[in-house]
Amino acid sequence: MTQATEVLVPTSPDEAAAAFGDGSGVTVVGGGTIVMPEITYGRLKVDKALLLGKAGLAGVTRDGSRITIGAATPVADLVDLPAPLGPCAANVADGEIRRQATLGGNICAGPGPDAPRGDLQGPLLALDATARSTGPGGERSEPLESFLDDRVGRLLLDVSFDEPAAGSFATIDYPHTHEYTVLAVSAARTSGGEVRLAATGLADHARMLSGDADAAASEVRLGDDALASAWYREQTLPVLVRRVLADLGEGT
Ligand SMILES: Cc1cc2nc3c(=O)[nH]c(=O)nc-3n(C[C@H](O)[C@H](O)[C@H](O)COP(=O)(O)OP(=O)(O)OC[C@H]3O[C@@H](n4cnc5c(N)ncnc54)[C@H](O)[C@@H]3O)c2cc1C
């Protein structure tokens, strides 16, 4: 007999953290644009589903120049934020998916089987964002870069970053990619003057780049998938790096 799924619907961040516990046996559902098809097609069996829609984890707040975005915030609510995050969010999928999909699902999903995902990781890395999560060992805040390396089994609560002095987003995508992004580079000049670059559309999660366009392809792992070959990405990554640097008024 098939075991029924237990559905948990927390109504506050504390309830969500308590329901998640150490994460064992819990499947988090943000907007469900990835999880629900997986369940429908029988590729994912769920014992306990934690639905974040009513957990009070959605919204964009500002405290001075610090911007905090709840994990359950729809991608559509991010499109007016400063570059590189706003333009990147506007480039995720189509309007229907953006209204349903969440920041947390985008950051935590990991690479897809046929196409890259996690577009929002790139601008948030460039923005030097902090990720706040809970799970084994309790709550912790850390640079997004280390969260991405060790995110499995954690519930992302929010991300925060300082509004950049300037930002840029450059991408390659085509109509035939069904709205997925082939390759993208995000850049931000922090309020302290540091220029930070990150790439998405890679064989794994987003990665920081040094800013040397000629070295960019050797700094990341590029994959072959249904959208493009690794060779094609290798040829185009330096172009995107030069484009964002030029946009920020930085020489290459
Ligand atoms: C037609 C189509 C086009 C798409 N185009 C793009 C695109 O251009 N770029 C792109 O990046 N993606 C794209 N996607 C993939 C997906 O829609 C997005 O990545 C989306 O942001 C995922 O968010 P979600 O809330 O729907 O994730 P969900 O399906 O809810 O969750 C995805 C994964 O993240 C986990 N998760 C969700 N929230 C949290 C949390 N707070 N803490 C920990 N784990 C969590 C879930 O358990 C699951 O493993 C596309 C999907 C479709 C169907």
Per the DSSP assignment, residues forming a β-bridge with 207 are: 199
For 222-233, what is each residue's pLDDT tens digit? 999 988 999 999
Q: Cα of 115 to ligand 1 centre, how many Å?
A: 12
First to last CA, the chain: 63
Which residue minimizes the CA distance to atom 3 of ligand 1? 93
Residue 201 — left, alpha, or beta (φ > 0 → left; ψ -120 to 50 → alpha)?
left
pLDDT of res. 174: 75
pLDDT of 178 higher than 90: no
State the closest ligand 1 atom to the C-alpha of 101, by its place in the atom list counted from 1. 26
The pLDDT-based confidence of 2 (bands split at 50, 70, 90) is: low
Res 110: pLDDT: 82
70 within ligand 1 shell (Cβ under 6 A): no
pLDDT digits (tens, 9 = 90+) for 125-159: 999 999 999 999 999 999 999 999 999 999 999 99
Q: 242 alpha carbon to ligand 1 midpoint, in Å? A: 29
Determine the distance separating the centroid of ligand 1 and the alpha carbon of 234, expressed in angstroms. Answer: 26
Dist CA 214 CA 6 (whole Å): 51
Structure tokens at 97: 């998916």
Residue pLDDT, tens place only, 17-63:
999 999 999 999 999 999 999 999 999 999 999 999 999 999 999 99
The pTM score is 0.96
The torsion angles phi and psi of 178, rounded to 5 degrees, stand at 55, 40
Helix, strand or coil, per DSSP, at residue 214: helix
Closest residue by Cα to residue 111 from 230, 232, 203, 174: 203
**Residue 87: its pLDDT value, please?**
97
Domains detected in the chain: 6-51+59-247 (3.30.465.10)
